[in-house]
A and B are shown apart, each in its own frame.
Chain A
Amino acid sequence: MARAVTKQRKTLNTLVAWAVGLLIFFPILWTILTSFKTEAQAINDPPLFLFFDWTLENYGVVQERSDYMRFLWNSIILAGGSTLLGILVAVPAAWSMAFVPSKRTKDILLWMLSTKMLPAVGVLYPIYLLFIELGLLDSRVGLTIVLMLINLPIIVWMLYTYFREIPGEILEAARMDGASLREEILYVLTPMAIPGIASTILLNFILAWNEAFWTLNLTAAKAAPLTAFIASYSSPEGLFYAKLSAASTMAIAPILILGWFSQKQLVRGLTFGAVK
């Protein structure tokens, strides 16, 4: 009897999980569906779900109008570069906070996070002026650094949480065996923290990919990533929802595929240490 109830419960849980999952995914699904409609079908009332004349016309128009590959390449460089740079800075920082904490470590962690609470536009002008001075406007280098900096608090926090799960004694043992600091971090800590680091990298990559304030405000023609590509299809005077949807689908497709393949690591990393 008890078993039957469990089974029922399990089915119910599965159903609820699917329902919630579909609800969250629905806007993306709708965007993808709209990208295959004509502009007239896109605004049809009642909305058309699956039964319409599917067309690839929007993708053709978008391809013709914009250099998708250039935007894609910029996105890859910016997201990849800022993630790599962030990890290089954050691993040592998180190591020191987790294993050799000082009296102020907690405060520093909170202070770092507090920088995320300021609206980005509040520092737009100072950063813009700095960029002009340094000649970094519309450059991938400048934007990579900014993206790294804005995501750094999250990376450090995530890594700090993972590192805390690792017993300090293991590192101590490595030190006793004569490992240098570099060797300790590189050969002992890092391999143990791989799941955590992997999910941090993935999350940071996704955050940098989707960042749409700095990437729009600090770029013009050369360094503009896919966020600018999408923004170029949004129009206040004219109905271009189908084309906008096609551009959006093309912009999110790479990250969606990446997320799909790495969902195991992502879930594992994000729930790491959640249940004790």
Chain B
Amino acid sequence: MHPKKSLLTATALALVTGGAAFAETITIATVNNGDMIRMQGYTDQFTEATGIEVEWVTLEENVLRQRVTTDITTKGGQFDIMTIGMYETPIWGANGWLVPLDDLSAEYDVDDILPALRSGLSHDGTLYAAPFYGESSMVMYRTDLMEKAGLEMPTAPTWQFIREAAAAMDDPANDINGVCLRGKAGWGEGGAFITVTANSFGARWFDEDWNAQFDQPEWKAALDFYVSLMNDYGPDGYATNGFNENLSLFQQGKCGMWIDATVAASFVTNPNDSTVADHVGFALAPNSEGVEKRSNWLWAWALGIPAGTQKEAAAKQFIEWATSKDYIELVAANEGWANVPPGARTSLYETPEYAEVPFAQMTLDSINAADPTDPTVKPVPYIGIQFVAIPEFAGIATEVSQEFSAAYAGQQSVDEALAKAQDITNEAMEAAGYR
């Protein structure tokens, strides 16, 4: 071979093999929300540090859930990291579908993860997904309207107080609704909200033998209260309002109060989007008088590795980077403390700069007040606050929440909705072999 030619060939070969050795690419499936999108923006820094390339597949939450579920149950191997929530993680972990995250580095400091999140993302004490951010729910209210009404929001209000305040702030002439709450069908939308509301009235989904409990007085009390509150002081068409619809109403100054995810706090206090940014106060999610459980939920978006991926080591490296203390500091340095992913690490709440963020303490208190292993007043056989961590739940709860939404819309009575919910749930649980 000509020496020049052979040199060229050798160089090309070295480039090809060398390139292949370095350019490992991991594929990450994720949801489209602010914190995740922000993380995508910083991926270059991860690639620079490790040489691992990252490909993102961003999908809407429901599409993502269907997509990753298909892939993990069939061992399709399309993704090396999946963004999953507290509902899927323990179920998938128990099925052996996720790589246990039991060998994270000492530097990562796994004990720094908020205990409630860690237990919700574990099965039998093993962590299966690392939280990127955590959220609970809380009351967001208009301080100016509250003042005008001559009331003061307690740190831990009751539903009875919420009703009183809603009545005082409701001002149809000025297009202000006393209170805005989710009513939209879907287990993660209105279904989640009515479940936590029911918890705070002493209700539960199942008794210890997996019998549905919708025929019990606590559920009726909760649903009656919600429907009457919303019919009197809620916005028109609340039966189809979810997170986004209520966010839009609140930002435009059309709600006195809104009880929803803590992550909304950064949206409603952002002057670019919200017309009421300077007049928002926060309080713990309410309970009914005399009931010890409050109506706050617990959720985390977390990163898990599907079992069977060829790139487990690289995937773990990414997870350690994305959910680390360093990542939080990186975002804080570039975009300010109000924009860091909240609710995942204890150390974040010990940072003096973060304590100045107006919703920081209330977010932490709300998360700490939620215990997925003990969600209701009466004992239950399941884990989960706004959901029941069994695979059948998503289907059942979506159907049940459709019946409830029909009651909100006035298409049937509360009693009818509860009777149907009871039948739907018991039938499904029987078919699934729980009863």
Contact = CB atoms under 8 A, between A and B. Distances in A.
A231 B37 contact: no
Interface size for chain B: under 10, 10 to 19, 20 to 34, or 35 or more residues? 35 or more
A239 B273 contact: yes
B76 A132 contact: yes
B40 A65 contact: yes
Contacts of B188: 236
B10 to A, nearest CB: 31
A128 B76 contact: yes
A217 B251 contact: no
Interface in B13-53: 27, 29, 31-34, 37, 40
A62 to B, nearest CB: 12
A261 to B, nearest CB: 32
A228 B61 contact: no
A10 B355 CA distance: 71
Interface in A13-50: 39-40, 43-45
A132 B57 CA distance: 19
Nearest to A40: B273
Contact of A238 (B33, B71, B272): B33
Contacts of A40: 251, 272-273
Contacts of B189: 236
A186 interface: no
A162 B40 CA distance: 51
Contacts of A217: 66-67, 70
B59 A231 contact: yes
Interface in A216-251: 216-217, 220-221, 224, 228, 231-240
Contacts of B234: none
A175 B392 CA distance: 63
Contacts of A253: none
Main secondary structure of the interface of B (DSSP, over half): mixed
A43 B248 contact: yes
A194 interface: no
B157 to A, nearest CB: 24
B33 A237 contact: yes
B119 interface: no
A137 interface: yes
Contacts, number: 97
A125 interface: yes
A220 B33 contact: no
Interface residues of A, number: 30
A40 B274 CA distance: 8
Nearest to A222: B55
A234 B261 CA distance: 18
Contact of B61 (A65, A132, A236, A239): A236
Contacts of B37: 65
B27 A221 contact: yes
A65 B244 CA distance: 22
Contacts of A45: 248, 252, 254
B263 interface: yes
Nearest to A132: B76
Given A132-B77, A217-B67, A233 B32 contact: yes
A220 B29 contact: yes
Interface in A118-160: 124-125, 128-129, 131-132, 137-138
B31 to A, nearest CB: 8
Contacts of B273: 39-40, 239
Given A43-B252, A138-B78, A239-B273, A232 B58 contact: yes
Contact of B32 (A39, A129, A216, A240): A240
Contacts of A239: 244, 247-248, 251, 267, 273
Contact of B70 (A128, A138, A232): A128
Contacts of B63: 216, 231, 234
Given A235-B33, A237-B263, A221 B56 contact: yes
B299 to A, nearest CB: 10
A138 to B, nearest CB: 6
Contact of B244 (A221, A233, A238): A238
Of the listed residues A43, A44, A238, A239, the one surrounded by the most CB atoms of chain B closer than 10 A to its CB is A238
Interface of B: 27, 29, 31-34, 37, 40, 55-63, 66-67, 70-71, 74-79, 188-189, 242-244, 247-248, 251-252, 254, 261, 263-264, 267, 272-273
The 4 residue pairs across chains A and B that have the minimum distance between CB atoms: A232-B58, A234-B60, A221-B55, A43-B248
16 contacts: A39-B273, A43-B248, A220-B27, A220-B79, A221-B57, A228-B57, A228-B59, A232-B59, A234-B60, A234-B63, A235-B31, A236-B243, A237-B33, A237-B263, A238-B247, A239-B244
Given A233-B32, A236-B244, 8 more contacts: A44-B252, A221-B56, A231-B59, A234-B63, A235-B33, A236-B60, A238-B33, A239-B244
